[in-house]
Amino acid sequence: MVRRFAGGQLRRTQQLRRSGVYALWALSLALGLIAVCAGLVLRRANVLGRRCGSGGNPGGLPGWERARIAMVSCSAASGEEAGPRDFQGLMELVTPGKQRYAEARGYDFIDASEEVDRSRPPSWSKILAVKRHLHRYDWVFWNDA
């Protein structure tokens, strides 16, 4: 069964529908304009852009100097000092990949295997290895073998 409304009610319903469509259209337009304006405003917000790790002077920053970064790693290779775990040959296996990683990012790779303190557990040598190189670099980070 179809109900018939008086002419005034039908017009009012149509007006409400139209005003809802117009409101939705206006809101979409406003949001689109905000997105475009935000993109234009924020376009140069990060002068480094995607070049954060590149060589050279990103964005022409005055007084900029590339940080000296070292990646330090070592292994208590083998023998009685290594205890029940034997890591003989481990550094030879992982060093090429670590060197490529460091070189690609402009880091120095330091194999500190010769700096292992045999009088302590091998894990303590991490601290000594990093500490020995702090004076030559702005940043030194440890990377397990």
* Strand arrangement, sheet containing 69-73: 108-111, 69-73, 139-142
- Residue 71's pLDDT is 94
DSSP symbols for the chain: ------HHHHHHHHHHHHHHHHHHHHHHHHHHHHHHHHHHHHTTSSTTTT-TT-SS-GGG-TT--PPPEEEEE----SSGGGTT---TTHHHHHHHHHHHHHHHHTPEEEE-GGG--TTS-GGGHHHHHHHHHGGG-SEEEE---
Tokens of 80: 């009685």
Q: What are phi and psi of 72, to 5 degrees?
A: -110, 140
- Residue 139's pLDDT is 92
* Residue of 10 and 92 predicted with greater confidence: 92
Read off the pTM: 0.52
List, for residues 78-115, the tens digit of each pLDDT value: 444 555 666 777 888 889 999 999 999 999 999 888 88
Q: Could you give the percent of the chain with pLDDT greater than 90?
A: 26
